Amino acid sequence: METIYFSNSFADSIVINQNIRWLTVDDYDIFCEHLKLCGQRILERTKWEQAYADSTLYCGLFVDGKMVCRACVEKYSINKWEVGDVRTAREYRGNGYAHQICSFVLKYILAQGKTATIRTEEDNTAMKKVISDLGFSIL
């Protein structure tokens, strides 16, 4: 079962990793390489393009030129946007990358004047720590 959390504030002391950038619709190949690195199936180009047509924004965290972590902004309502689809490739876990990329997306959502939400499975202790450290509360 998933738990949903929300936030309306961002700690100014959090430093954003300079190796995170927004992806564009033209970054399809980079995204697919990341999916393979995560052991996931390749996404059809039309689905990638549709996500961008639907205003979903993806970002990636890069290490040595390779995208090792991702997250997106899912604009599911006028006032609430989600930090979604957070994934770090297995061999890169434990380095704080999920925390860094969620910080990046959270800061963006709040800068747009929206409430940020995030969700995770109850047994995902690593992600629950990220959520807690970023100041999210249970919705």
pLDDT tens, position by position, 56-110? 999 999 999 999 999 999 999 999 999 999 999 999 999 999 999 999 999 999 9
| Residue of 101, 92, 115 lying closest to 5 (CA atoms) | 115
Element (H, E) at 103: helix 97-111
pLDDT at residue 124 tops 60: yes
**How confident is the model at residue 14, as a pLDDT?**
64
The CATH number assigned to the domain with range 2-138 reads 3.40.630.30
**How confident is the model at residue 63, as a pLDDT?**
96
- Please give the structure tokens belonging to residue 106: 């959270």
| Residue of 74, 44, 32 lying closest to 56 (CA atoms) | 74
- Please give the structure tokens belonging to residue 102: 């969620």
User: Which pLDDT band, with edges at 50, 70 and 90, does 2 fall under?
Assistant: confident
Q: Cβ distance 42 to 34 under 8 Å?
A: no
Nearest 5°: the CA angle 101, 106, 6 is 125
The pTM (predicted TM-score) of the whole model is: 0.93
Q: Which residue has the higher pLDDT, 66 or 17?
A: 66
Average pLDDT, the chain: 92
